[in-house]
Amino acid sequence: AVEEHMAYFDGLVSADKRIEPRDAMPEGYRKTLIRQIAQHAHSEIIGMQPEGNWISRAPSLRRKAILMAKVQDEAGHGLYLYSAAETLGMDREEMLDLLHAGKQKYSSIFNYPTLTWADAGAIGWLVDGAAIMNQVPLCRCSYGPYARAMIRVCKEESFHQRQGFEILWVLARGTEEQKAMAQDAANRWWWPALMMFGPPDSGEQAKGGHTAQNMAWGIKRFTNDDLRQKFVDMTVPQAQKLGLTLPDPDLTYNEETGHWDFGPIDWDEFWRVLGGDGPCNAERISHRKAAHDEGAWVREAAVAYADKQAARAGA
Q: Which residues bind ligand 3HC (CB under 6 A)?
A: 35-36, 39-40, 43-44, 47, 74, 105, 107-108, 128, 131, 134, 157, 195-199, 209-211, 214, 220, 224, 274
CA distance 239 to 39: 29
Nearer to ligand 3HC among residue 45 and residue 172 (C-beta): 45
Q: How far is the CB of 110 from ligand 3HC (least distance, A)?
A: 7
Looking at beta carbons only, is 48 or 181 nearer to ligand 3HC? 48
Run of H or E including 163:
helix 144-172
Of residues 152 and 179, the one with the C-beta less far from ligand 3HC:
152
Nearer CB in complex with ligand 3HC: 117/197: 197
CA distance 299 to 111: 28
| Contacts (Cβ under 8 Å, ≥6 apart) of 35 | 104
| Distance of closest approach, residue 17 Cβ to ligand 3HC, in angstroms | 21
- The smaller minimum CB distance to ligand 3HC, of residues 163 and 183, is found at 163
Q: Which amino acid is at 109?
A: I
The DSSP-derived string for 214-271 is: HHHTTS-SS-HHHHHHHHHHHHHHHHHHHT---S-TT-EEETTTTEEE-----HHHHH
Question: What is the spatial distance between Cα 125 and Cα 102, in angstroms, rounded to a whole number?
Answer: 29
Task: Provide the 10 A C-beta neighbour count for residue 88.
Answer: 18
Strands 259-261 and 252-254: antiparallel
Question: Distance (Å, rounded) from C-alpha 63 to C-alpha 68?
Answer: 9
Cβ–Cβ < 8 Å for 240, 182: no
CB 2 → ligand 3HC: shortest distance, Å?
26
- Output the smallest distance, CB 3 to ligand 3HC, in A: 27
Nearer to ligand 3HC, 43 or 116 (CB): 43
Q: Which is nearer to ligand 3HC, 52 or 245 (CB)?
A: 52
Residue 151 CB, nearest distance to ligand 3HC (Å)?
14
Backbone angles phi, psi at 208, to 5 degrees: 80, -95
Q: 145 or 199, CB closer to ligand 3HC?
A: 199
> Where does residue 18 rank: exposed (0-12), middle (13-18), buried (19+ CB within 10 A)?
middle
Q: What is the CA radius of gyration of the chain?
A: 21
Residues forming a β-bridge with 259: 254
